[in-house]
Structure 1
Amino acid sequence: MASFAPLAPSPPTSTAEARLSLTELLLACDAARPCAEAVVEWLTVHARAAAAACVAREEPGGRLVCLAARGLSEAQCASLEPQQDDTRHPLVEALTRDAPHFLPSPRPPLPRGETAEGLFTVPLGHAGSPPVGLLLVWASGPALPSEVSWVASHAGPFLARQATGPRGTGGSDLFRRIIDAVVDPILLTDLVGHPHLANARAEALLVANPGSSEGRRRAVRLNQRVLAAALASTASGGVPGPSRREVPLVDPVEGMDLLFELVTQRVYEPDGREAMVSVLRNVTDLGRATQALGESYRRLRATEREARSERHRLDRVLDSVADPIILSAPSGGTVMMNDPAEKLFTPPPNAGRPAQRRVRTNHATFASFLANLLGAEGSLRWRGQLSLVDPASGATRPMEAVASKVMGDGGELTGIVTLFHDRSEALEKARLLERLREVSTLLEARVQVATAELAEQNEKLRRQAIQLEQASAAKSQFLANMSHEFRTPLNAILGYTNMLLQGVSGELSPAQKRNLTRIDSNGRHLLEVINEILDITRIEAGRMPLNLSDFRIPELLQEVMAEMDPIIARSKLAVSTHLAPRLPQVHGDRQKVKQVVLNLLSNALKFTHEGAVKVSAEYAPSTAMLSISVSDTGIGIDPAQQEKIFEDFQQVDSSPTRAYGGTGLGLSICRRLATMLGGRVSLQSTPGQGSTFSLHFPRRTRRT
């Protein structure tokens, strides 16, 4: 049988509450080890002890054993258990004293980081009797803390009473098995209700382990309070014999209310103290049976009242139904009807002959309908369509009537209930539904005609798309051929111009050199335009191949800066490069990456009049993407124009008087080349503050 212990209380907020909590734990313990564990834990928390332990004599044999410890390792706990013949051990000597003793050099020493100047050995036991154990407290001074003295004075008697075996379990196992076998809860308590012993059934009602749910803990706490109050009241009565009273408790598992008969008897414990033996007999079922009998009597009286008002209730129910209802006798006569039925089968006040004639017509029609049900052997229900007349207005009201036989307990016919339902709304809905179907059919025919026309238009569009593709291909082929034809003589012109500038045909005058330089500059500009047109046509025609190879970004940017060095020198701008550390080797089309960077850097130099231009490269390992950005402090681009500049032959200023030249193909080619590399070109710009164009492409380009 498990030890009977109360709930572990919440951390107390004052010394008095802490002492009260420990006292309740000690009163509930029926074994030495739980008692010792509660004491040492309390000392380390509330007495601020660096470490604490509790040792006691083991019976039989008298050897010291460590019941509980806090702040000590297993090896240190083992050093607190001397051999039986070791009479010089400090703890063995401390047991011969009847007062606390301070050892300046604690044995064993505390772990590194813990400070303690000495060890207090406080004897535990009954006053005037030899100690049964020691309370060991490691403290920082020779003055014994008051909390330690208080704990020793209260824990000593409990330890002396409970430490009667090698593990401090106490009692007889046979006796415990006997009381655990009893189905009724049995308790041994003192006169104020503090438990000393309990069987398994009592523990199920009054004990909650530390791991129990909060609901069970609350139920157990409530049971403990109710039982303690009942026992204290019985003890104060002073009745010498058995005492009986009813006690309401709660089932901690199901949460149900239970009723017990508490039978108590005063007894004396071996030490002469007066105690109380209590037996709880579950009388819940008896109480419930008494309650059920009273409830049955109350229900009988309520049934009598309901029977008297049943007819009135039925009348109100029938009147609340919007459809007419008639209850007829087996002979066909009317027993009762609701208000809607009375409007059809009862003449209105001061009705004339036409209204009375209409009512008689309705009665005749209804009687003919009931005859069908009464004439149908074995049929309990009859459904039919009736045409009744409104007595007041004379309007015809199409009705659906459903008549059902009401059979008695012996199978005899006791009545007929007929329910009428006005079909005017249903007929109108059916007419509207038919009209809707006609309109739907007409609409479906029109949709089919429109679908055929749409298919014809789609076919025309498809043919036009084919023609446009053919025209685009022819245009691309024409531009490619013409660009090639333009580049051949233009390269010759540039070559001869360069030869003349170098003085191959003789020395030139300054005016001649100036004119030839202008010819060379405009020729190279024309060659650049032709190359851009050729690149666009090759990309559109799918003839721009990918030449993949391994290369490094620093060397590529170094080449770009070398090629742009003359233009950088003329611009007088501060151009710098910034490379992120540990840029990886790239597998892609080196020439296309270089062409994009050259174009972005050229644009930055072109549209920046003063300030600086920075070329930076970064790598994102998480996405395996590289970014080469060109930032300038130029004129910037309005947000409304930022997407437009990536289209073919588009510039921010497309007027004939624009300040900046160009074909408007550079950024379009950059975006197309970036797409071929599996990347993209992004733009961040603020008008008047500058722009940042970035090429984002994967570290390894895949062929498509």
Structure 2
Amino acid sequence: MKDAALFESIAEDSPDAIVLVDEKGLIRFWNRTAESMFGHPREQAMGLRLAELILQGDEPPPSSHGPPEKRSASFDAVARSATGALLYVNVASRPIGMASEIGACEVYNLADVSQLRTRRDAQLLEARYSQLLDSMPDAVVVVNEIGRIALVNPQAEEMFGYRASELVGTPLETLLPERYRATHGRHRERYMGHPHARPMGQGLELHGQRNGGEEFPVEISLSPLRTDLGMFALSAIRDISERRRVERVLEEKNLELQRANQAKDRFLATMSHELRTPLNAIIGFTGILLMRLPGPLTAEQEKQLSTVQQSGKHLLSLINDLLDVAKIDAGGMQMHRVPIEARALVDEVASTLRPIAHAKGLELAVRASQPAAWVHADRRALQQILINLANNAIKFTERGVVELFVEPASDGLWAMGVCDTGSGISQADMARLFEAFSQVGSRQHRSSIEGTGLGLYLCRKLAELHDTAIQVDSQLGQGSRFWLSLPAVPAQDEAAA
């Protein structure tokens, strides 16, 4: 009993952690240094096994079995504190006998050599790699297997606001915001267990913390660094504060543009309705005057009224296009897809536009490979597409034929469209053909043809609402062919329609 009391009084004040383990491997003494070094209070450590409590890695503490002269040992190990932090420890063990109820036991002397070993590794790493790392554009931090910083380059010193001497030997978590430190150790250990190269920019939201507490966003690439000193992790760190600032500015500008675009759509929709009401009255009363219902007209009056009526109709067409475009862009255009007999719709469009074609001396023909072809589409939208395409063909054809067609396409689709013998389209103009308010062709040719530049843009938008696109085949001086492909309606659906 006196031996035990003497041992405890001496061991209690030792600068190293002193642990006494009985012949069953259970802790029977745990001094104050062990408490501060590993963070486990004495009452918590007593009765536990040393290997389970703090020692990590493959090398277990020496066995307390066997001849006493063979049981003394000294080895290096990795220990884990109560907070989860890892330590390099030098462990010396020896058998001890004392007069007490404990009986035969072993005493372990554990010295924390983390700082010493890290600084030793730092000197060797600096001699080998500092010249290479100093030339890198990014900040570089090299960390050993227990998460202590072993090497930094000047860019890392500048980025984080520390001198290299202040960082070497400290936990990597020093460079992280407080909220990440508790979980980072587990992530680091998983990486060291299965080290692999991880490039920058993999969508992770990462932050660093400068000396003084300022947080900043970073991108980090990780690479394993295998040396004869052991495994290290090399982190290349990039400050992306400026990029994030620019991204935020762009996001704000995009929101402003979206709000401005929505305001424009609302304005167009409102004004289009407001303008159509008086314009319809102008066109209607002009028609009444041209019908001579109020009384006779002179030839000059009739000519002037016809000009007013034609201009009014042209303006109404522009307003209608603007209204439709505004509806589509604002998501207000509702599609009602139903089975439609394509040949009948094409005949209807041809009947509407044939007087305009005949007035220019053009033939407006209809070609259908089968008498009945059914497609699934919104009738009003499809009719508007065909009218716009055919009207364009008539405008840009001086002689020959404009033809509306329906023909089978591949994979259960029907192609519907218009071809003409007009002026055709150059390859340079093809790229901007479907842009809003865009008119192609020579300036002289455009000036002689009325148009808003919205017709093909509207066709494109209406086709997209049908999950398809307007196709074009044209060469300058050799005419054009515009078409879209729509799904055929099964026979049973045709019957139901």
Question: TM-score, normalized by length of structure 1?
Answer: 0.37
Which of 357, 379, 386 aligns to 1:568? It is: 357
Give the number of aligned pairs: 274
**Which whole-Å CA distance do the structure 1 matches of 2:442 and 2:276 have between them?**
26
- SS at the partner of 2:417? strand
Give, in angstroms, the shift of residue 580 of structure 1: 1.4
The residue number in structure 1 matching 2:321 is: 532
The aligned amino acid for 1:658 is S
The aligned amino acid for 2:419 is S
**Which whole-Å CA distance do the structure 1 matches of 2:130 and 2:269 have between them?**
67
> Is structure 2 residue 461 aligned with structure 1 residue 672?
yes
The residue number in structure 2 matching 1:505 is: 294
After superposition, residues 300-449 of structure 1 pair within 5 angstroms as: 431=127, 433-440=129-136, 441=140, 442-443=154-155
Q: Where do 5+ consecutive residues of structure 2 fail to align?
A: 1-122, 141-153, 160-217, 219-236, 491-497
- SS at the partner of 1:581? coil
The aligned amino acid for 1:650 is S
Partners of 2:339 and 2:489 within 8 A in 1: no
After superposition, residues 142-541 of structure 1 pair within 5 angstroms as: 431=127, 433-440=129-136, 441=140, 442-443=154-155, 450-541=239-330
CA RMSD of aligned residues (A): 2.4
**Which whole-Å CA distance do the structure 2 matches of 1:639 and 1:627 have between them?**
23
After superposition, residues 128-143 of structure 1 pair within 5 angstroms as: none
Give, in angstroms, the shift of residue 678 of structure 1: 1.5
The residue number in structure 2 matching 1:645 is: 433
Partners of 2:346 and 2:405 within 8 A in 1: no
> Is structure 2 residue 255 aligned with structure 1 residue 559?
no
**Which whole-Å CA distance do the structure 1 matches of 2:464 and 2:394 have between them?**
24
Partners of 1:679 and 1:697 within 8 A in 2: yes
- SS at the partner of 2:402? strand
Partners of 1:588 and 1:700 within 8 A in 2: no
- SS at the partner of 1:623? coil
After superposition, residues 100-115 of structure 1 pair within 5 angstroms as: none
Partners of 2:429 and 2:441 within 8 A in 1: no
The residue number in structure 2 matching 1:324 is: none
Give, in angstroms, the shift of residue 435 of structure 1: 2.1
- SS at the partner of 1:464? helix
Which of 622, 633, 636 aligns to 2:424? It is: 636
The residue number in structure 2 matching 1:592 is: 381
**Which whole-Å CA distance do the structure 2 matches of 1:519 and 1:582 have between them?**
42
**Which whole-Å CA distance do the structure 2 matches of 1:433 and 1:700 have between them?**
71
Give, in angstroms, the shift of residue 439 of structure 1: 4.1
**Which whole-Å CA distance do the structure 2 matches of 1:533 and 1:488 have between them?**
15
> Is structure 2 residue 483 aligned with structure 1 residue 694?
yes
Partners of 1:583 and 1:618 within 8 A in 2: no
- SS at the partner of 1:536? helix
**Which whole-Å CA distance do the structure 2 matches of 1:700 and 1:439 have between them?**
67
After superposition, residues 60-99 of structure 1 pair within 5 angstroms as: none
The residue number in structure 2 matching 1:658 is: 447
- SS at the partner of 1:645? coil
Q: Where do 5+ consecutive residues of structure 1 fail to align?
A: 1-426
Partners of 1:548 and 1:589 within 8 A in 2: yes
Q: Please give the per-residue CA displacement for 1:11-64, whole angstroms capped at 9, x wherever unaligned.
A: xxxxxxxxxxxxxxxxxxxxxxxxxxxxxxxxxxxxxxxxxxxxxxxxxxxxxx
Aligned-pair identity in percent equals: 35
The residue number in structure 1 matching 2:59 is: none
Give, in angstroms, the shift of residue 582 of structure 1: 6.0
- SS at the partner of 1:644? coil
**Which whole-Å CA distance do the structure 2 matches of 1:438 and 1:614 have between them?**
72
Give, in angstroms, the shift of residue 429 of structure 1: 10
The residue number in structure 2 matching 1:329 is: none
Whose relative contact order is higher, 1 or 2, with alpha carbons under 8 Å and at least 6 apart?
2
Give, in angstroms, the shift of residue 482 of structure 1: 0.8
Give, in angstroms, the shift of residue 642 of structure 1: 0.7
Give, in angstroms, the shift of residue 612 of structure 1: 1.4
**Which whole-Å CA distance do the structure 2 matches of 1:694 and 1:475 have between them?**
31
Partners of 1:679 and 1:698 within 8 A in 2: no
The residue number in structure 1 matching 2:391 is: 602
Q: Please give the per-residue CA displacement for 1:521-542, whole angstroms capped at 9, x wherever unaligned.
A: 0100000011111111000000
Give, in angstroms, the shift of residue 450 of structure 1: 4.4
Give, in angstroms, the shift of residue 474 of structure 1: 0.3
**Which whole-Å CA distance do the structure 1 matches of 2:307 and 2:487 have between them?**
42
The residue number in structure 2 matching 1:213 is: none
- Mark the structure with the bigger radius of gyration: 1
